[in-house]
Amino acid sequence: MTDKVLAKRDEFLRSQTIEHEVPTPKEIPQEELMKRVPRPLRHVKYIPVKNLVFFSKHIPPQFSYETKIKTPIPSDKLVVQVRNAGLNPVDLKIMNSYTRNMNREVGLGREFSGVIIEVGAGQRGQWKEGDEVYGLFYHPNLGFGTAQSSILVTPSKDVILKKPSNIGFQAAAGTLYCLGAAFNILDALEAKGQLTEKSNVLINGGTTSVAIFAIQLLKYHYRIPNKLVLLCSEYGATLLKSYFPDLCDELIFVNYVMHSRQIHKPLQDMISNRETISYDATSGQPISIPYDQGKFSIILDFVGGYQLISHTDSLLSKNGAYVTTVGDYKANYSSDVYNAWDNPSAGARKIFGKMLWTFDYTHFHFDPNAKYATKNDWAEKCAELVESEVVKCIVDKVYDWKNFDKALEYVKSGHCHGKVILEVEKF
């Protein structure tokens, strides 16, 4: 080729190279680069949760899969894989308070036992994965519950304790709410000087879970020497004797079924006649039991109604204490609502009880939030009582959480003789 032809060829190749040269990213405007380069999808990690929820009292509870716990969790929190959830009448009261269908889920259950599966960075000095725990998850106004496969717990707000090896997960899930209530009632009475070794105590609703813990605390912890008088059914009396055979001679049972409309009458007779009449379970023959303890210095009412409060002049000693967890209205778990107002007469007793009725009246409301537990360290003290086997949880029935409807109906019946527990599946 001639030099002229070669020069033209080289010029042509140079023009083609420049025309097809791929510009570097620096030469491409940033906006154009963002359009051209595909961005990877953000990978979000989370713990899936199966949750037993309701939307109102008129719609049956159902299982939901909407809740997800994002990981890594906040530094001040723990994730507990729930093994068991305890049910209480307060669960029904909370449900009854939602009279209209909500557009959000509301959880069931306030007590739990389980195993820690995630630990926030700020909690690693105190907790570790694999710790077996039990506690209270009390958020009635926020809609959280313990009947779910995993819960996000904040130790500064929620009561959570390491489960002692001497109790199982079922008993642990039913311990702290009612034991905590009984402990705080008696602790307040002791602080006022009303609970002493001379106390004479009447318990209405002797087989309720709070009463069962109160009986144990009075006899095993406070060591009250006087016999406790319990209002319960004959069947309930038989159960309590089987649960605590060593206390058979320390308890006096009055059958409220036989005197349902005048329950005060056998109590008045017992005080005035200095004896109480029981009946042999086999022969039906009357049995006279001596009683010389006089009027009661403390009445613990876990049933409610006017039967006892309207006869305090003949039942309760001067400067005595009347504590109720229900109020003047008899408990009805089909309609009772959470945080309902007391009626006017109950309100007057709280204000003027000492002045007009010569006794101290308390309508006790238990809030097991961790910030209140610091006032008297009740959670830690209860844990010590459980671990040292001073008290124990009596489990009445255990249901698979798929049978939650039967469990709730049983609680609603008001015939529980101990705790009702849900068995939560792993999810």
Is 338 found in the same domain as 190?
yes
Alpha carbon distance 52, 107 (integer Å): 6
In-domain check, residue 387: no
Is 349 found in the same domain as 298?
yes
Residue 236 pLDDT:
93
Task: Out of 242-256, 363-377, 383-397, pick the least confident.
Answer: 363-377
Is 332 found in the same domain as 197?
yes
pLDDT tens digits, one per residue of 188-216: 999 999 999 999 999 999 999 999 999 99
Nearest to 322 by CA among 202, 215, 146: 202
Is 161 found in the same domain as 215?
no
Task: Out of 62-76, 109-123, 254-268, pick the least confident.
Answer: 254-268
Instruction: Show the domain range for 113.
Output: 46-175+394-423
Residue 100 pLDDT:
78
Residues in the chain: 427
Please report which confidence band the pLDDT of residue 331 belongs to, taking 50, 70 and 90 as the band edges.
Answer: confident
Is 337 found in the same domain as 202?
yes
Q: Are the C-beta atoms of residues 359 and 320 closer than 8 Å to each other?
A: yes
CB atoms within 10 A of CB 35: 10
Structure tokens at 188: 């307040």
Q: Each residue of 330-351: b (16+ CB within 10 Å) or e?
A: ebebeebebeeeeeeebeebee
In-domain check, residue 327: yes
Number of H helices, E strands in the chain: 13, 20
In-domain check, residue 159: yes
Alpha carbon distance 371, 373 (integer Å): 5
Please report which confidence band the pLDDT of residue 43 belongs to, taking 50, 70 and 90 as the band edges.
Answer: low
Is 193 found in the same domain as 167?
no
DSSP letters spanning 124-139 = TTT--TT-EEEEE---
Is 275 found in the same domain as 167?
no
Mean pLDDT of all residues in the chain?
87
Percent of the chain with pLDDT strictly greater than 70: 83
* For residue 178, pLDDT beyond 60: yes
* For residue 39, pLDDT beyond 90: no
The arithmetic mean of pLDDT across residues 380-407, rounded, is 97
Residue 27 pLDDT:
54
The terminus-to-terminus CA distance of the chain in angstroms comes to: 81
Q: Which amino acid is at 400?
A: D
In-domain check, residue 369: no
Q: Are the C-beta atoms of residues 272 and 319 closer than 8 Å to each other?
A: no
* For residue 340, pLDDT beyond 90: no
Alpha carbon distance 382, 384 (integer Å): 5
Residue 413 pLDDT:
92
In total, how many domains does the chain have?
3
Q: Are the C-beta atoms of residues 227 and 200 closer than 8 Å to each other?
A: no
In-domain check, residue 15: yes
Q: DSSP state, 418?
A: S
Is 316 found in the same domain as 346?
yes
Alpha carbon distance 234, 246 (integer Å): 18
Please report which confidence band the pLDDT of residue 33 belongs to, taking 50, 70 and 90 as the band edges.
Answer: very low
In-domain check, residue 383: no
The arithmetic mean of pLDDT across residues 373-399, rounded, is 95
Query: What is the β-pairing status of strands 62-64 and 316-324?
Result: unpaired
Is 318 found in the same domain as 244?
yes
The arithmetic mean of pLDDT across residues 224-229, rounded, is 97
CATH number for the domain spanning 181: value is 3.40.50.720
Q: Say what angle helices 378-387 and 176-191 make with each other, to 10 degrees.
A: 110
Is 296 found in the same domain as 167?
no
In-domain check, residue 388: no
Q: Are the C-beta atoms of residues 420 and 407 closer than 8 Å to each other?
A: yes
Please report which confidence band the pLDDT of residue 181 belongs to, taking 50, 70 and 90 as the band edges.
Answer: very high
Is 347 found in the same domain as 199?
yes
Q: Each residue of 232-242: b (16+ CB within 10 Å) or e?
A: bbeebbebbee
Residue 171 pLDDT:
98
Find the helix or strand (DSSP H, E) in which 35 lies: helix 30-36
* For residue 19, pLDDT beyond 50: no
In-domain check, residue 51: yes
Task: Out of 52-61, 145-154, 156-165, 251-260, pick the least confident.
Answer: 251-260
* For residue 305, pLDDT beyond 70: yes
Beta strand segments in 10-77, E? 46-48, 51-54, 62-64, 68-70
pLDDT tens digits, one per residue of 214-226: 999 999 999 999 9
The arithmetic mean of pLDDT across residues 290-307, rounded, is 93
Residue 286 pLDDT:
77
